[in-house]
Copies of this chain bind each other. A is one copy, B any other.
Amino acid sequence: MTHGPDIARIAALVADPARSAMLLGLMDGCALTATELASLGGITKQTASSHLAKLVDGEVLSVEAQGRHRYFKLAGAHVAALLEALMVFSSDAVPPLRTGPREPSLRKARICYDHLAGEMGVALYDHMQENAWVDDGLALTEKGWRHLAVIGVTQAELPRSNRPQCRACLDWSQRRHHLAGTVGKLILDRFFALSWARRLPNSRIISFSPEGERRFGEWLR
């Protein structure tokens, strides 16, 4: 009778199977595109578009347009907290989601959309910050470009887009940031081109060769 907080409105946003699947897919804090989320929810992109509009309108998700992509992510920690409060009820699948991937190789290095995630991705991000390859605004410094040139990544390669050069992406297994953005993508592309690493089929695992891992370590010295 008395109008309390409108918790039904938010609950309804989570109550749809497709939407909840998308939300669970974003629990790692990463931002995904609309089509990726559509496949997560097992629905067409039209339907996903409608769902995502609702979630953004309800301030459950936040969206960032970059080029022709739109990256969706959880609107904040309170959303993750809500999802966790809901997960308590399903006795089965309680633990695995926030503890990160089980397979060690996934923890070590995997692809996150188009850039490097996992321990090695976090190491790269940390190194770039600590050694002033990027400034406080995550823009590449003179010094940063010099070091990137060592493996063959040049400023000329940057597509003329307004997608940011560097972006921080929360790492699922590490719960720390790794490097995303166009530079993140370029670097990973170089790793592949230099045969330092390759993708395993049907998996997000990125497998570094012993030689590649050694060179990676040297590059960061």
Q: Which residues of A contact B (CB under 8 A)?
A: 1, 4-12, 14-17, 19-21, 23-24, 39-42, 58-60, 78, 81-83, 85-90, 92-94, 97
Contacts and interface: CB of A to CB of B under 8 A. Distances in A.
Given A11-B11, A14-B11, A15-B12, A4 B97 contact: yes
A7 B87 contact: yes
A47 B21 CA distance: 30
B4 A15 contact: no
B1 A8 contact: no
14 contacts: A1-B41, A5-B86, A5-B87, A7-B23, A7-B83, A7-B86, A7-B87, A8-B15, A11-B20, A11-B86, A15-B15, A58-B89, A78-B85, A85-B85
6 nearest A-B residue pairs (beta carbon): A5-B90, A7-B86, A12-B15, A11-B14, A8-B20, A11-B15
